Amino acid sequence: MSTPAACNVNPHRKEPRPLVHLDQNRAMGPQSQRRLTLEGRTHQMQANSHNKKRKAGQQLALHGGVAFDSDRDCEVCKGRLAGRNVHRGHHKLCTNNRKTKGITSEATLKQMKIDDKLKKLFATPFAVEEKASSQCLTKEAGEAFFAARNLPKTIAKTNNTASTTAMTTTKPTPNFTAESFCEAAMEKTNHKLFVESHANGRAPLPMLAFASVVVDKIVPDKTKIFEHFNNLTMHVPPTKDMHNNPHCHSVVGQKLLLVDWIKLCGLDVKCPGCDGANLVNDRTNFSKNKLLFPIFEIDGPPSWCMIMSMTCPCCWRQHWANDGQMLTRLPAFATTSCPVETKCALSTKNCRICRGTTDVCGILMTTYGNGDLCSRLLCNAIDRACLERVTSCHSRGKHFAGIVGPFLSGCC
């Protein structure tokens, strides 16, 4: 029979691991105990196998031995410390060597020579014969500079000299009427280069032509800008012969906005980023990229905006004039002139919806929660406005002149 003690022994019990003696632990070697990397072990073996013994205070080199010291290893520097003159050059590793300056890399020495040559070149002033010379230009650049140019149309003869001189006459800018706007815009739409350069624009081609005329003739003149713009908005004026031109007839009554708080409202706006200085006008999106910013409406075609880009002279951040952060810093009379709610003026979006559209869609969204319905309302408003213009243009041409063909292109 087995005793009770023998019955309590666990048959799966493992014996404890025996302790390793200290002598055996030392005999395992530095490789497994210290776990040095291959590179570190190599440098350590090189340092240990070197014949020179490093003294206290001396720097150990990477590949073993003692690092170079000018006062100890350079004969010239060592002699100067001892009070004697050694007539020879400094060691190539010495920092007092004028050629190497203690640098042994050939690529670094070549780059240092190039840098010295460039410094001398930039510090040397131009000679008299080098000024206004084309010796550093290419042949193509010289031919383009000396190519014949078109002379001005206004050429007058002076009484004192027999030679003719080109004269540029400055005429006062005439008052632009509705017919002048229409004629100037239609000239641009008939220009092939203008049509090709604005082929990818989001706005209609007649609206882009009208905006370019406004930028050239109205915006630079401070007296005319208040005559044509009501707050920020300018309507495309109607003309007598607008029905004879489908391009002109298609944009009559549409809105063109110039969002410029400094020029049109006389306001100084603090920078939303640092709040340290007043923003300064830079340029509009139309003058830079020839693009117009749309504001969709629920009762007709969208309005098109020229937005001013404003820069802070302190933090140099750029802000758009129709951004929500800008609108919150403006007084109420200026905010109401921009037909966009502040909560909908998001800086990450490339379009806006007008205040009336926001009110209608706000009621629909709380009732139906259907964004597709709101988008279909905006698209249907544009389609209905286009159909009304086409019907009006065709019916008037058919009633008075009986001409229908020329009105088929460009209405939509």
Q: Based on the domain organization, do 90 and 205 belong to the same domain?
A: no
In the DSSP assignment, the letter for residue 278 is B
Number of domains comprising the chain? 2
Residues 232 and 267: beta-carbon distance below 8 Å: no
Cα–Cα–Cα angle for 389, 391, 393, rounded to 5 degrees:
65
Please indicate, yes or no, if residue 108 is contained in any of the structural domains: no
* pLDDT for 64 beyond 70: no
Confidence of residue 161 (pLDDT cuts 50, 70, 90): very low
Beta-sheet pairing, 303-311 with 293-296: antiparallel
Q: Are 208 and 349 in a shared domain?
A: yes
Of the candidates 379, 356, 372, 374, the one whose C-alpha atom is nearest the C-alpha of residue 364 is: 374
- The CA–CA distances, whole Å, from 382 to 279, 376, 377, 387 equal 36, 10, 9, 9
pLDDT band at 5 (very low <50, low <70, confident <90, very high): low
Residue-wise pLDDT for 213-229, tens only, equals 888 888 887 778 888 88
Q: Say yes or no: 202 and 88 in one domain.
A: no
pLDDT digits (tens, 9 = 90+) for 123-133: 988 888 777 77
Q: Are residues 252 and 376 in the same domain?
A: yes
What integer best gives the mean pLDDT of the chain? Answer: 76
Helices and strands per DSSP (H, E), number in the chain = 19, 9
Highest mean pLDDT: which of 52-66, 173-187, 360-374?
360-374
Q: Which of 44, 65, 45, 43 lies closest to 54, judged by CA?
A: 65
> How distant, in Å, are the alpha carbons of 33, 43, 402 from that of 40?
14, 5, 98
Same-domain status, 225 and 328: yes
In a domain, 33, yes or no: no
pLDDT tens for 364-382 read: 877 776 778 888 888 888 8
Mean pLDDT check: name the lowest of 44-48, 82-86, 348-352, 400-404. 400-404
Q: Evaluate whether residue 92 is within a structural domain.
A: yes
What is the residue range of 67's domain?
A: 60-101
Residue 72 inside a domain? The answer is yes
Answer whether residue 290 shows pLDDT above 80: yes
Last residue of a domain, one of 74, 101, 128: 101
pLDDT band at 336, cuts 50/70/90? confident
Same domain (yes/no): 89, 184: no
| Any domain includes 83 | yes
298 pLDDT higher than 80: yes
Segment among 127-141, 216-230, 319-333 with least mean pLDDT: 127-141
In terms of average pLDDT, the best of 11-15, 65-69, 359-363 is 359-363
Mark whether 83 and 198 lie in a shared domain: no
Percent of the chain with pLDDT over 90: 1
| pLDDT at position 4 over 60 | no
Q: Residue 87 domain-assigned?
A: yes
Letter for the amino acid at 332?
A: A
Region 345-364: mean pLDDT is 83
**Distance (Å, whole) CA 327 – CA 336:** 10
- Assess if residue 302 is contained within a domain: yes
In whole angstroms, how far apart are CA 395 and each of 44, 87, 244, 300, 389?
99, 108, 12, 21, 10
pLDDT higher than threshold 70 for residue 46? no
194 and 89 in a common domain: no
| Whole-prediction pTM | 0.51
161 located within any domain: no
Kindly state whether residues 188 and 73 are assigned to the same domain: no
User: Does one domain contain both 278 and 372?
Assistant: yes
Together in a domain, 91 and 209: no
